[in-house]
C-alpha cells in the first residue's frame, strides 16, 4: 500500500488470472485452445519483414477491421479492435458505463467486470442467476446505467439464444447492453446480427479462444457506429494505435482459414460432450456448456481437495474461492489425451 496511490487504487483488489505454470502440467485452467492457430498464422510470422516494425501501425487498423467486418457482415465503422477483449471491455466501461445509475450484471460472471467497476467508480448491481445457473435476462431493469453479461456465461457455460437477447433489447433501450461473446464459437449463438437494429447493443469477442491466439492479445467489438465511435474516442485519448501491426497481420491470417477454425471448434465441442458423459459416470454434476470449459461439482468430494489432488498429479484446473463457486471446479476442454488423463486421475481421487 502506498500513500501515493489514489483512493480507488488503494481499495482495488486486482483481478487474479489463472496460474501460468512454469513446469509442464496439463493446463486446463484458463480456457486456452489446445490446438495450434491456423497454419497461415505461422506462415505470416515467418515471412514478416522487420521493416514493418520500424513504423507505427495503421492508426485505424483498417485491414483488420475490414476483415472482421466481412466476417460478421457489418460495415467497417461498426468494428473496433483492441489488445485482447479485456482492453476492449475496459474501454467500454469508460465509454458507456460511467453513469449516475448502476451497471447491472449477473452475480456470477466474468470476475473482471467488478474490478473495472471499482477502478472506474461505477456502482454495480449484481443479479442472482436462475435456479439452474442461467443468466436471468428477465431480471435486468430497464432504467439501469447499462447491462453486461457474458454469453455463454463464464464460468457457468450456459448461453442464451439470439431470440432471448432480442427480447431483452426490446425492453432495455435507454442504456448500453454489452454482450461478451468470448466463448460463443463453441456452440453459442451470436447476437451480432442484432446490432443492425439496436443502436444500444455492443458485442465483444476475442481471438484468444476459438482462434487459438491468447498470446497475441487481440479482441474486438461490433456495434452501432455510434457506440464504436464512443470506444474510439476513449481509445484515442490515451493510445491512438489500436493494435500492433504484427498482431493485425497474424489475426487476418487466422480469419482467412475457416476450415481450420471449424475443425478445431468441432473437436473441442465433441471432446466437451465426451468429457461430460465420463464425468457424470464418476458422479459429477456437469453444468450444460456451450463454451470450451465445463463447470462441475461432486456431491461427495470437496472441490478444493480435488483441485489440490489434481494439481499434485500434474493437472491444473480452476477453483474459485468465492461463496457461489466454492463447490465447483471449472475445467477447460483440452485434447482427448489430456481429458483422458484428467478422467483417469479423477477416477483415482474419487474412487
Q: Tell me which residues touch ligand PMP (CB under 6 A).
A: 84-86, 110, 150, 154, 180, 182, 206, 208, 214, 219
Measure the CA angle with vertex 122, ends 120 and 128; round to 5°.
Answer: 130
Question: What's the burial of 26, exposed, middle or buried (CB within 10 Å: 0-12/13-18/19+)?
Answer: buried
Strands (E), the chain: 26-27, 79-82, 103-106, 124-127, 147-150, 177-180, 201-206, 219-223, 285-286, 293-297, 315-316, 329-332
Nearest distance from residue 234's CB to ligand PMP, in Å?
17
Nearest CB to ligand PMP, comparing residues 88 and 346 = 88
Phi/psi class of residue 186: alpha, beta or left (left: φ > 0; alpha: ψ in -120 to 50)?
A: alpha
Nearest CB to ligand PMP, comparing residues 200 and 208 = 208
Nearest CB to ligand PMP, comparing residues 316 and 346 = 316
Nearest distance from residue 139's CB to ligand PMP, in Å?
19
Nearest distance from residue 78's CB to ligand PMP, in Å?
19
Nearest CB to ligand PMP, comparing residues 210 and 275 = 210
Separate counts of helices (H) and strands (E) for the chain? 12, 12
Nearest distance from residue 2's CB to ligand PMP, in Å?
27
The C-alpha cell at 231 is 470506444
Nearest distance from residue 111's CB to ligand PMP, in Å?
9
Nearest CB to ligand PMP, comparing residues 114 and 219 = 219
Local structure of 205: helix, strand or coil: strand
Amino acid at each position: 500500500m502506498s500513500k501515493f496511490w489514489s483512493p480507488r487504487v488503494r481499495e482495488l483488489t486486482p483481478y487474479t488470472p489463472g496460474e501460468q505454470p512454469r513446469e509442464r502440467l496439463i493446463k486446463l485452467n484458463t480456457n486456452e485452445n489446445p490446438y495450434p492457430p491456423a497454419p497461415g498464422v505461422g506462415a505470416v510470422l515467418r515471412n514478416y519483414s522487420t521493416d514493418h516494425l520500424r513504423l507505427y501501425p495503421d492508426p485505424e487498423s483498417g485491414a483488420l477491421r475490414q476483415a472482421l467486418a466481412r466476417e460478421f457482415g457489418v460495415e467497417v465503422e461498426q468494428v473496433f479492435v483492441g489488445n485482447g477483449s479485456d482492453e476492449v471491455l475496459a474501454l467500454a466501461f469508460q465509454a458507456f458505463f460511467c453513469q449516475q445509475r448502476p451497471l447491472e450484471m449477473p452475480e456470477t460472471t466474468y470476475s473482471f467486470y467488478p474490478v473495472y467497476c471499482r477502478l472506474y467508480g461505477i456502482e454495480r448491481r449484481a443479479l442472482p442467476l436462475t435456479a439452474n445457473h442461467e443468466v436471468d435476462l428477465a431480471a435486468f431493469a430497464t432504467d439501469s446505467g447499462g447491462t453486461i453479461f457474458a454469453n455463454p456465461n463464464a464460468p457457468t457455460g450456459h448461453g442464451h439464444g439470439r431470440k432471448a437477447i432480442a427480447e431483452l433489447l426490446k425492453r432495455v433501450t435507454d442504456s448500453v447492453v454489452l454482450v461478451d461473446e468470448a466463448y460463443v464459437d463453441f456452440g453459442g449463438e451470436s447476437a451480432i446480427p442484432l446490432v443492425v437494429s439496436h443502436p444500444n447493443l455492443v458485442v465483444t469477442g476475442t481471438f484468444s479462444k476459438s482462434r487459438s491466439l491468447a498470446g497475441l492479445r487481440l479482441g474486438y467489438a461490433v456495434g452501432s457506429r455510434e457506440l464504436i465511435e464512443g470506444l474510439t474516442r476513449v481509445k484515442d485519448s490515451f493510445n491512438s494505435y489500436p493494435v500492433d501491426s504484427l498482431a493485425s497481420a497474424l489475426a487476418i491470417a487466422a480469419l482467412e482459414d475457416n476450415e481450420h477454425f471449424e475443425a478445431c471448434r468441432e473437436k473441442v465441442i465433441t471432446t466437451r460432450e465426451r468429457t461430460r458423459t465420463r464425468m457424470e459416470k464418476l458422479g459429477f454434476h456437469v453444468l450444460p456448456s456451450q463454451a470450451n470449459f465445463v463447470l462441475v461439482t461432486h456431491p461427495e468430494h470437496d472441490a478444493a481437495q480435488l483441485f489440490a489432488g489434481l494439481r499434485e498429479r500434474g493437472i491444473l484446473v480452476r477453483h474459485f474461492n468465492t461463496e457461489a463457486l466454492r463447490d465447483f471446479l471449472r475445467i477447460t476442454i483440452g485434447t482427448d489425451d489430456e481429458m483422458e488423463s484428467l478422467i483417469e486421475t479423477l477416477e483415482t481421487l474419487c474412487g
